[in-house]
Amino acid sequence: MHPAPSIIFFTVMAGAGYGLVIDFCLAVLFLDLVVEPVVGAIIVLAALVFAAAGLSSSLLHLRRPSRARLALSQWRSSWLSREGVSALVTFIPLTALLFCYGLGVETPWLVQAALIASAIGALVTIFCTAMIYASLRSVPSWHQPLVPLLYLLFGLMAGGLILMAILALSGMDIRTIIWPVIAVVLVTWVIKLFYWRGAAGAGLSSPQSATGLAGNLRPLYPPHSEANYLLDEMGFRVGRKHSVKLKRLALILGAAIPCLFLLLAQILSSPGVIASVLAILALLGGMISIFIERWLFFAEAKHTVMLYYEDALAGSTSR
């Protein structure tokens, strides 16, 4: 599939924003994270900014963005619609949370309720985003339960790294949450490795089932001699070598660097500049790696329609 920058940006950023919400909620509920209202406000604001940036980027992918509001109407059947609805609905508790922190409202049940509601919304949103892709039988590598799991994990990973950076920057001690974040990072990449192994699997369909023609089939005479929408959109190919390199890079940036730097932060320091720098570097590495991962997620995915075109694409410069 064509790795459209707008969609990569959308899924990564929205995932990070909503992941941050979930991470924050979990940290508050289960790791006893307590933050100053200002810091809380910054975290929530960051989540909103990430989510909003992602969602607006998704609009860039639309050829008729002015009709985007209609996208909220079909939540009964469409994951994209559900994603839109839930992304927006989640903005309500998130905004409430922002107000709580911003205005210093200290009603714990209110904050907690808003936090939990936001996290649930965020979880649903990430799941819906993932299901946009995972529901497509036409793209076999996407059509598996690992996909929502990975979207969630990458969201949590990005969110965790962001949370860490914000906390470090605001001078807080991040050591209590480093281990869980490292755990998320590692689990995420282990599962992603698993996905990468299996994703190459052929899927259900073959040129024979796609056409009903028997034999050792080869698409030879494409319908049109130049590229078309389907080829532009779905005919993307990544060289094997290129892909291996990118995966290695992603693992270094997304697994090795964050883990190493967070470990360093754990060992080295109390709150301060060093911890902040390390956390920011971990975040940068993590984010870049997720962009690479997401690029590959699209670029490596094969659509069944390519069964009708494959050779013509691979074969030659001219048809």
Partner 1 sequence: MTSLPNTPPEKRLGLVIDLDACVGCHACAVACKEWNTGGIVAPLSDKNPYQAEQTGAWLNRIHGFEAAAGEGEIGRTAYFPKSCLHCEDAPCVTVCPTGASYKRPEDGIVLVNEDACMGCGLCAWACPYGAREMDPLEGVMKKCTLCVDRIYNETLDPADREPACVAACPTSARHFGDLADPQSAVSKMVAARSGYDLMPEQACRPTNKYLPVRKKQLERMTEQLAAGDTTAEGFFSWLDRALSS
Partner 2 sequence: MDLALNEPTGDTVKTTTCYMCACRCGIKVHLKDGTIRYIEGNKDHPVNKGKLCAKGSAGIMQQYSPARLNKPLRRVGERGSGEFKEIEWDEALDVATGWLARVRATDPRQLAFFTGRDQSQALTGWWAKQFGTPNYAAHGGFCSVNMAVAGIYTVGSSFWEFSEPDWDRTKFFMMLGVAEDHSSNPIKIGIGKLKQRGAKFVSVNPVRTGYSAVADQWVGIRPGRDGLFVLSLVHELLRTRKIDVDYLARYTNAPWLVIDAPGTEDDGLFARNPLGYPLVFDLESEAIVSSGKPVDRPALHGNFMLEDGRKVRPSFELLVRRYLDPCYAPETVAAEIGIDAPVIKSLAAEMAHAAFEQEVVLDIPWTDAWGRQHEQVVGRPVSVHAMRGISAHSNGFHTCRAIHLLQLLLGSIDVPGGYLHKPPYPKSLSSLPRPTGISEQVSRNMPLPGPHLGFPTWPEHLLVDEQGSPARLDRAFSWAAPLAAHGMMHAVITNAWARDPYPIDTLLMYMANMAWNSAMNTTDTIAMLTDKDVRTGEYKIPRIIYSDAFASEMVAYADLVLPDTTFLERWDCISLLDRPISDAHAPADAIRRPVLAPDRDVRPFQDVLLDLGARLGLEGMITGDGKSLYPGGYRDYITNHQRQPGVGSLAGWRGGEGTQRGKGKPNPDQIDRYIENGCFWREELPPSARYLRHANRDYLSYAKEMSFVGSTAPITMNLYSEELQRFRLAAQGHGNTVPPAAERGRIETYFDPLPFWYAPIEETYSRQDDYPLHAITQRPMAMYHSWGSQNAWLRQIHGQNALFMHHDTAAARGIADGDWVWIKSRHRRIKVPVQLVDGVNPHTVWTWNAIGKRSGAWNLAKDASEAKKGFLLNHLIDDLLPKESDRPAASNSDPVTGQAAWYDLRVEIEKAQPEEEAIPEPRFPDIPLYAGLVKPSNELRFGARFRSGH
The SS3 of residue 284 is: helix
Taken in order 258, 263, 266, 267, the sign of the CA dihedral is: negative
| CA 122 and chain centroid, separation | 12
77 belongs to the binding site for partner 2 (CB under 8 A): no
- Burial call 270-307: b when 16+ CB within 10 Å, e when fewer: ebeeebbbbbbbbbbbbbebbbbbbbbbbbbbbbbbbb
Indicate the DSSP class of residue 68: G
| CA distance linking residue 114 with residue 205, whole number of Å | 46
Name the one range near partner 1 by CB under 8 A: 42-50, 76-84, 183-191, 273-281: 76-84
With CB cut-offs between 5 and 8 Å by kind, which of partner 2, partner 1, none does residue 63 bind? Answer: partner 1
The SS3 of residue 14 is: helix
With CB cut-offs between 5 and 8 Å by kind, which of partner 1, partner 2, none does residue 202 bind? Answer: none
175 belongs to the binding site for partner 2 (CB under 8 A): no
* Residue with Cβ nearer partner 1 (195 or 308): 308
**Binding-site member from 29, 70, 92, 200 for partner 1 (CB under 8 A):** 70
**Binding-site member from 32, 225, 229, 267 for partner 2 (CB under 8 A):** 225
| Shortest CB 245 distance to partner 1, Å | 27
* Residue with Cβ nearer partner 2 (38 or 227): 227
- Rg (alpha carbons) of the chain, rounded to whole number: 22
Question: Which amino acid, residue 133?
Answer: Y
With CB cut-offs between 5 and 8 Å by kind, which of partner 1, partner 2, none does residue 318 bind? Answer: partner 2
Name every residue whose Cβ is closer than 8 Å to that of residue 213 and which is 6 or more positions away in sequence. 207
The SS3 of residue 113 is: helix
**Binding-site member from 8, 12, 51, 80 for partner 1 (CB under 8 A):** 80
With CB cut-offs between 5 and 8 Å by kind, which of partner 2, partner 1, none does residue 227 bind? Answer: partner 1
Name the one range near partner 1 by CB under 8 A: 36-44, 201-209, 267-275, 277-285: 201-209
**Binding-site member from 30, 108, 109, 216 for partner 1 (CB under 8 A):** 216
Size of the site for partner 1 (CB under 8 A): 58
Q: Which contacts of 303-307 are long-range, i.e. CB under 8 A and separated by 24 or more positions?
A: 303/1, 303/138, 303/139, 303/234, 304/138, 304/139, 304/140, 304/203, 304/205, 304/210, 305/138, 305/230, 305/234, 306/234, 306/235, 307/205, 307/206, 307/207, 307/210, 307/211, 307/219
With CB cut-offs between 5 and 8 Å by kind, which of partner 1, partner 2, none does residue 34 bind? Answer: none
63 belongs to the binding site for partner 2 (CB under 8 A): no
252 belongs to the binding site for partner 1 (CB under 8 A): no
Between CA 47 and CA 53, with CA 52 as vertex, the angle to 5 degrees is 100
**Binding-site member from 214, 226, 229, 267 for partner 2 (CB under 8 A):** 226
**Binding-site member from 60, 73, 193, 270 for partner 1 (CB under 8 A):** 73
Interface with partner 2 (CB under 8 A): 220-221, 223-226, 315-319
Interface with partner 1 (CB under 8 A): 1, 61-68, 70-74, 76-81, 84, 132, 135-139, 204-205, 207, 209-224, 226-230, 233-234, 303-305, 308-309
